[in-house]
């Protein structure tokens, strides 16, 4: 059974919950999905651009940092191999929830 919560968060009932956050970008679309084992980041920079999808095991996430700005919040996720994911289209509350999900180990 799936239900949609506030800010486009999809809550999937069952043993493995998946939390999906949709960015608020006008032309670029960003989506972050977090479940018990993986973080999945999807981005389409324009209508004609291909969809970029990155899946990272949660155990490989090294740091989750964020910076509050006047226009929104910048989320930076660093992996063990020093790869970075930078997002700018999420609200402050979404970034706080993503950070809490990624910093708590399940």
Contact 66, 74 (CB under 8 A): yes
Q: How many domains, the chain?
A: 1
pLDDT in tens, 60-87: 999 999 999 887 889 999 999 988 999 9
- 50: CATH: 2.30.29.30
For residue 52, give its domain range: 2-103
Confidence check: pLDDT of 20 > 90: yes
0.95 exceeded by pTM: no
**For 48, phi and psi rounded to 5 degrees?**
-95, -5
59 vs 12, 43, 63, CA distance in Å? 22, 22, 11
Confidence check: pLDDT of 5 > 90: no
């Amino acid at each position: 059974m799936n239900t949609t919560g506030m800010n486009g968060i999809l809550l999937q009932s069952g043993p493995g919950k998946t939390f999906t956050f949709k960015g608020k970008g006008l032309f670029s679309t960003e989506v972050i999905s977090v479940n018990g084992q993986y973080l999945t980041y999807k981005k389409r920079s324009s209508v004609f651009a291909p969809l970029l999808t990155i899946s990272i095991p949660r155990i490989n996430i090294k740091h989750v940092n964020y910076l509050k700005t006047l226009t929104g919040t910048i989320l930076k996720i660093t992996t063990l191999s020093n790869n970075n994911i930078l997002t700018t289209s999420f609200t402050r509350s979404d970034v706080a929830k993503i950070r809490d999900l990624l910093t708590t180990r399940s």
